[in-house]
Amino acid sequence: MACRHVVLALSLLALAGCGISQTNYDASREALRGSPSLRNDFVRTCTRNISRKPYATRRNIAKLMNASVSSTPRLYCSRLTRGIANGRLSRSDINAAARGQVTPTIVRVLQGR
């Protein structure tokens, strides 16, 4: 259960605009890699949080992802989760996103490339 809390903390930290330590990021990534249940929890929590963002924010994310606004929250969170679990998204990328900055790697992951 400790891993579950780490993953949910990562999700909340990333979406709340705070940074995350390398140790917590590494532990969360390993937990996501090894547990479909944790990945599902992460996607569910993230989707709920993204769905609450203002429409204009979701529309801009949808444009970046080449997706519909209605499918954006779940697709965004699924791609984000996959990017973390497979190591494509680094702690630096996640912390940049939390500050509202976009890295080229984030763009590629969110576009499914």
- First-to-last CA distance in the chain? 33
Give the number of domains in the chain. Answer: 1
| Rounded Cα distance, 33 and 30, in Å | 5
pTM beyond 0.85: the answer is no
Query: Contact 70/38 with Cβ under 8 angstroms?
Result: no
| Rounded Cα distance, 68 and 77, in Å | 14
pLDDT digits (tens, 9 = 90+) for 56-112: 989 999 999 999 999 999 999 999 999 999 999 999 988 888 777 889 999 999 999
- Which residue type does 1 have? M
- Angle CA 51–93–25, to nearest 5: 90
Q: What is the residue range of 72's domain?
A: 2-110
pLDDT digits (tens, 9 = 90+) for 10-59: 554 454 456 678 888 888 899 889 999 989 998 999 899 899 999 998 99
